[in-house]
Structure 1
Amino acid sequence: MSNTYYTNKNVLITGGAQGIGLGMALAFAKAGANTVITDKDEEAGQEAVQRLEQEGQKVIFIHCDVSQEQEVKALLQQVGEKYKQLDTLINNAGIADPFVGPLQEMDMAVFDRVLAVNLRGPLLCAKYALPLLAKAEHPAILNISSTRAFMSEPNTFPYSASKGGLEALTHSLAVSLTEERVRVNAVAPGWIEVGEWQKQSERYEPHHSKEDKAQHPVGRIGMPEDIAEAALFLCSDKAGFITGQTLTIDGGMTVKMIYG
């Protein structure tokens, strides 16, 4: 990928106000993209704009709850009015807290809400972004999944189900959008430390033990920058022969056998 590939490319990142989404927003903006972030958290969105401006980068923030069809439709209308086309859609928005307690105590409203944001949201965004993506030379969609799509801790039913569904949605979209030339891939992050990438009221200084780091063959916890670098590649023309795939980015954690 050349240093100028993203110059004047138009990129939309959902859930872009905090965490991995904010890390990707900074990376794409630095690479020259016209970067739009959307988030349900208005406070985080405004802070994100200010933070990236301090880094010398300009992004646009648009409030949106990706589980709501009319809000997604309005979001893409605004993007289309400003940029006429969309080169890259990154479906990152999601409810990230995976634990819901024992199955017999689970509130089904929680399950429904998680799937609405984590799975329905990416589908809605793809639907309404498609006319704009189809106008681009190398259009791409990237879904942010999770290693919890294929491995679990107890009592994480909604999150695991939503990310497993997102894996399937990724390859389904990839084989369905061929006429529009849209490549669709996913990344599955493992343990990514986002403490320093949260809005101010929720920011914290990370502390990781030797045991935490030792769970990863690379010897450290992941950072948003690790996901951002992969996103820059997968959404570029250099990944033009890659579609329908999921790249696991977890420092090797899911391939290490741990006996306890």
Structure 2
Amino acid sequence: MATGDYKDKVVLVTGGAQGIGLGMAQAFGQAGAQVVLTDADEEAGREALQRLQDQKLKAIFIPGDVSAEHEVAALMEKVQEKHGRLDVLVNNAGIADPFAGKLEEMLMSEFDRILAVNLRGPMLCAKYALPLLRKAKHPAILNITSTRAFMSEPDTFAYSASKGGLEALTHSLAVSLAPDRIRVNAIAPGWIETGPWQKERERYEPQHTREDKEQHPVGRVGEPQDIAGAALFLCSENAGFITGQHLVVDGGMTVKMIYT
């Protein structure tokens, strides 16, 4: 992956301690950025920070829940104290399990919690990061949505609704923040295998069947590095004419017709 493009830029990755978030944090760090990780899981956050520091990357970890307004405000105050500005905000934190059970069995508290993290969280982060982003020369916000914003398996109400809302929030923020020169885009991942990118006690070696691989036109399941590559591009000056858009990164899975 290319390095140097983000030299001395400050990049905040929410939900950056595991999975796709950790993959993006590592990629931004390898490209020269000063990475700020935030995550509600402090154990995972400490492990992730050590993982990046072992690679001689510049990073700090600040624990926090993106759905809690006072914690987001405190997070941005700490970024201000440490760096004085923010070049890139990556809204990645989310409750990843899309399955909520049958509609009549679903607790509204579960629905509300998923929306609070997956949709309210990015909105709060954008709001409180705004003063810091305004100080950057080429500021950008990247929202991590999902192909489930456009298609669903049964009983994925809250997750699909939250990611669909985040897609809409992306173009709304892009238009609203244009006077501040802040570009806002989204990546919609498909099936991304995060087993090797979990904290140590939850890490596992993935086993994918031939069918798992062949339902992707590219012939494999995705990896965090696939999302990281797209993130590096969309948040860079090379994408300076792109805002309010989403990029589907799913190995072609959502364009392949499947007959049963």
Give the TM-score of the pair, scaled to structure 1: 0.98
Aligned residue pairs total 260
* Native 8 Å contact 1:49 1:58 kept in 2: no
Cα deviation, 1:165-187, whole Å, max 9, x if unaligned, reads 00000000000001110000000
Give distance in 1, aligned partners of 2:207 and 2:123: 36
1:201, distance to aligned residue in structure 2 (A): 1.2
The residue number in structure 2 matching 1:228 is: 228
Q: 1:97 to 1:2 in 2, by over 3 A?
A: closer
* Native 8 Å contact 1:118 1:162 kept in 2: yes
SS at match of 1:179: helix
Moved more, 96-105 or 56-65: 56-65
The residue number in structure 1 matching 2:26 is: 26
Runs of at least 4 residues off by over 3 Å: none
SS at match of 1:143: strand
1:3, distance to aligned residue in structure 2 (A): 4.3
* Native 8 Å contact 2:3 2:30 kept in 1: no
RMSD of aligned Cα (Å):
1.1
1:64, distance to aligned residue in structure 2 (A): 0.6
Give distance in 1, aligned partners of 2:196 and 2:53: 17
2:38 corresponds to 1:71? no
Give distance in 1, aligned partners of 2:94 and 2:4: 30
1:223, distance to aligned residue in structure 2 (A): 0.3
* Native 8 Å contact 1:189 1:250 kept in 2: yes
2:118 corresponds to 1:157? no
1:55, distance to aligned residue in structure 2 (A): 2.2
The residue number in structure 2 matching 1:243 is: 243
SS at match of 1:216: coil
Give distance in 1, aligned partners of 2:61 and 2:164: 29
Give distance in 1, aligned partners of 2:237 and 2:54: 30
Give the TM-score of the pair, scaled to structure 2: 0.98
Cα deviation, 1:132-173, whole Å, max 9, x if unaligned, reads 001111000000000000000000000000000000000000
Letter in 2 for 1:25: A
Gaps of 5+ in 2: none
Letter in 2 for 1:23: G
Letter in 2 for 1:36: V
SS at match of 2:96: coil
The residue number in structure 1 matching 2:107 is: 107
Give distance in 2, aligned partners of 1:182 and 1:54: 33
2:251 corresponds to 1:257? no
The residue number in structure 2 matching 1:117 is: 117
Letter in 2 for 1:135: K
Give distance in 1, aligned partners of 2:58 and 2:140: 22
Gaps of 5+ in 1: none
The residue number in structure 1 matching 2:84 is: 84
The residue number in structure 2 matching 1:218 is: 218
Give distance in 2, aligned partners of 1:178 and 1:211: 44
